Amino acid sequence: MANSPLDIVLLGAPGSGKGTQAERIAPAFDLSHISTGEILRGSVKAGTELGAAAKRFMDAGDLVPDEIVIGIIRERLTEPDTIAGFMLDGFPRTLFQAAALDEMLAGAGRALTLVLLIDVPDEELVQRLAGRRACRSCGRGYNVVFDAPKVEGVCDVCGGELFQRDDDNETTVRNRLQVYARQTAPLTGYYRDQGILSTVFGGGRNPDQVFADVEKVLAASAKRPGDGRQA
């Protein structure tokens, strides 16, 4: 029997460690990592029309309109690297996007294997977001509190300069958390009803500890009977 692709969604509030876990999951499970936030930031940096349309929403910590991000994902999922399995990071973020994704996948004869929620208490999210840094050259993420680089301001991997994202300032962070609670948190119920939601607790734990749990959940899902996959 042919192996079914592992098609997953990573769900979690801003600061829950989605991006950090995504960097580990993608190579470990050989999945194409698709981050709408990264795609949008790339478009802003490149000065494209899409970037110009998205920037003011991103700077305010609001969601970019559904039709824009759905268009991005629709196009991205036609690329050949997604055939063997993908991991969506930061999409869907509204029930409308989730329904559009289901429809898109059904049209291609596939369906989500698993939605992985990384659950972190609100008070910890604010602290984490304030400490978040990324490398300007290779994009590796750090946290000055929980996952600091060996030398302050310098990437361990490539020696690049670390910077703080524009939307990690306090006002925008507060809005992003409210937007998550209002528009994205309801997705947990949507996917629980579909029977594909798994939760990993990320509070007070470092990325390695969280990844150990994530790996167990994904390995079990990859081996699920009827799925035809061998881990």
**Spatial separation of the C-alpha atoms in residues 217 and 198, rounded to whole Å:** 7
Which position among 36, 82, 113, 198 is part of the footprint of ligand AMP (CB under 6 A)?
36
Q: Which range in 91-99, 147-155, 185-193, 217-225 contacts ligand AMP by CB under 6 A?
A: 91-99
**Spatial separation of the C-alpha atoms in residues 161 and 69, rounded to whole Å:** 29
Which position among 5, 12, 14, 17 is part of the footprint of ligand AMP (CB under 6 A)?
14
Per-residue DSSP letter, 64? P
- Is residue 230 within 8 Å of residue 3, measured between CB atoms? yes
132 is catalytic: yes
Q: Which range in 89-97, 109-117, 120-128, 133-141 contacts ligand AMP by CB under 6 A?
A: 89-97
Q: Which range in 33-41, 79-87, 100-108, 202-210 contacts ligand AMP by CB under 6 A?
A: 33-41
- Tell how strand 132-135 and strand 141-143 pair up: antiparallel
Cβ nearer to ligand AMP, comparing 125 with 222: 125
Q: Which of 24, 76, 110, 165 does the annotation list as catalytic?
A: 165
10 lies in the binding site for ligand AMP (CB under 6 A) = no
128 lies in the binding site for ligand AMP (CB under 6 A) = no
18 is catalytic: yes
* Residue 93 phi, psi (nearest 5): -125, -5
64 lies in the binding site for ligand AMP (CB under 6 A) = yes
165 is catalytic: yes
In the chain, helix, strand, coil percent, each to 5? 50, 15, 35
Q: Rounded to the nearest whole angstrom, what is the least distance from the CB of residue 206 to ligand AMP in the complex?
A: 21
Q: Rounded to the nearest whole angstrom, what is the least distance from the CB of residue 150 to ligand AMP in the complex?
A: 25
Q: Which residues of 128-153 are buried (b: 16+ CB within 10 A; e: fewer)?
A: bbbbbbbbeeebbbbbeebbebeeee
* Assigned token pair, 136: 């300007």
- Tell how strand 132-135 and strand 162-163 pair up: antiparallel
Which position among 5, 90, 202, 207 is part of the footprint of ligand AMP (CB under 6 A)?
90
98 lies in the binding site for ligand AMP (CB under 6 A) = no
Count of CB atoms situated within 10 Å of the CB of 75: 10
Residues that bind ligand AMP (CB under 6 A): 14, 36-37, 40, 57-58, 61-64, 69, 90-93, 97, 167, 176
Catalytic residue set: 18, 93, 132, 165, 176
